[in-house]
């Protein structure tokens, strides 16, 4: 097969306009999940717990697989799975290193359970695959409504706890000294993270959740450290990846959505990383210049 033929197999943009109209609901849901993912990922970066996202997604997978097996709602199953995981991780360890060990223990267990449930399930193979790679174009209007309600729940919780959560994520000792309920906020955040993971699983699947919950803020923090710009950029990046991924995937009947979402997300990160590398160098130079100036000032004074 020549490259041209592969491309022709991958993409057909016939009836594109009609497809977009058909999937308007999915696109709205994807945009909303982009907003949620972009904001949550800022806190994932601030707390330095990207690994937790991965751990939660594996248990979300197990929950969804169990739901599939027993004929329960798959979205609800993945939400329950991820919330259980989020609570275990949130209660389990205060420090990032303790959390990492717990997640490392939890992850293979979750995956194993999921594989067990899928092995027992004898329904359509596409339903199994959908859990791994995302299924937002295939879910029902009722499920999309669930997603939208949960997404708004996450956004409202974030709006209420934003400042103290940021304080306790970035500067836990001083936050605790100022009376911020650091431990309670950790649980609240892990719950919202669990919800966000479960929602994102619908778009990109279990394996690629990181593309919506880590990469956007990881890219944004390459460019800025501002408490306004990092969330704004992160949301823009996440929405671009989730909606853009679907729009590109519509032209490609053969390929699921998630590779496009992750590729867009990765490309955004790559560009930010290149720009951010120069920014870091310039910040280092300025620090060195300040140190030199201070040194010569102290020499003059002495």
Site residues for other proteins per CB under 8 A: 42, 45-46, 48, 159-164, 166-167, 170-171, 173-180, 217-218, 220-222, 224-227, 230, 280, 283-284, 286-287, 290-291, 298
Buried b (16+ CB within 10 A) or exposed e, 73-95: bbbebbbbbbbbbbebbbeebee
Residue placing its CB nearer to other proteins in the complex, 124 or 286: 286
Q: How far is CA 190 from CA 87, 91, 96, 214, 236, in A?
A: 6, 9, 13, 15, 23
Identify whether the C-beta of residue 272 lies closer than 8 Å to the C-beta of residue 45.
no
Question: What is the smallest separation between the CB atom of 42 and other proteins, expressed in angstroms?
Answer: 6
Which of 160, 171, 227, 209 lies closest to 53, judged by CA? 209
What's the closest the beta carbon of residue 173 comes to other proteins, in angstroms? Answer: 4
Residue 36 vs 180, nearer CB to other proteins: 180
Minimum distance between the CB of residue 78 and other proteins, rounded to whole angstroms?
28
Minimum CB distance to other proteins, residue 48 (Å): 7
Alpha-carbon dihedral 106, 234, 190, 161, rounded to 10 degrees? 170
For other proteins, which is the closer residue by CB, 100 or 224? 224
Minimal distance, residue 79 CB to other proteins, in Å: 26
Min separation Cβ 32 and other proteins, Å? 19
Spell out where the chain has E strands.
none
Q: How many CB atoms lie within 10 A of CB 99?
A: 22
Task: Using the minimum distance from each CB to other proteins, give the nearer residue, 124 or 281.
Answer: 281
Residue (248 or 272) nearer to other proteins, CB:
272
E strand or H helix that includes residue 259: helix 258-301
Least distance in Å: CB of 274 to other proteins? 15
Residue 4 or 179 with smaller CB distance to other proteins: 179
Please, are residues 198 and 82 in contact by the beta-carbon 8 Å criterion?
Answer: yes
Using the minimum distance from each CB to other proteins, give the nearer residue, 46 or 247.
Answer: 46
Q: Are 234 and 38 in contact (CB under 8 A)?
A: yes
Q: Assess contact for 77 and 67: CB atoms under 8 A.
A: yes
């Amino acid at each position: 097969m020549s490259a041209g033929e592969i491309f022709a197999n991958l993409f057909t943009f016939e009836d594109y306009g009609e497809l977009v109209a058909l999937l308007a609901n999915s696109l709205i849901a994807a945009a909303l999940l982009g907003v949620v993912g972009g904001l949550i990922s800022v806190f994932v970066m601030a707390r330095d717990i990207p690994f937790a996202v991965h751990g939660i997604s594996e248990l979300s997978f197990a929950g969804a697989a169990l739901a599939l097996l027993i004929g329960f709602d798959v979205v609800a199953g993945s939400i329950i799975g991820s919330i259980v995981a989020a609570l275990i991780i949130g209660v389990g360890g205060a420090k990032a290193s303790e959390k990492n060990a717990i997640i490392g223990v939890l992850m293979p267990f979750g995956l194993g359970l999921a594989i067990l449930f899928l092995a027992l399930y004898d329904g359509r193979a596409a339903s199994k695959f959908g859990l791994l790679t995302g299924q937002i174009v295939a879910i029902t209007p009722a499920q999309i409504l669930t997603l939208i309600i949960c997404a708004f729940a996450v956004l409202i919780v974030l709006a209420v706890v934003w400042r103290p959560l940021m304080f306790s994520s970035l500067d836990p000792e001083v936050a605790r000294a100022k009376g911020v309920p650091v431990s309670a906020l950790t649980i609240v955040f892990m719950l919202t993270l669990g919800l966000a993971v479960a929602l994102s699983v619908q778009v990109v699947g279990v394996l690629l959740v990181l593309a919506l919950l880590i990469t956007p803020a990881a890219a944004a923090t390459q460019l800025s450290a501002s408490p306004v710009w990092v969330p704004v950029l992160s949301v823009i990046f996440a929405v671009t990846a989730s909606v853009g991924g679907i729009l590109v995937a519509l032209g490609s009947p053969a390929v699921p959505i998630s590779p496009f979402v992750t590729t867009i997300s990765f490309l955004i990160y790559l560009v930010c990383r290149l720009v951010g590398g120069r920014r870091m160098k310039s910040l280092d130079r300025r620090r060195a210049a300040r140190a030199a100036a201070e040194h010569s000032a102290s020499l003059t004074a002495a």
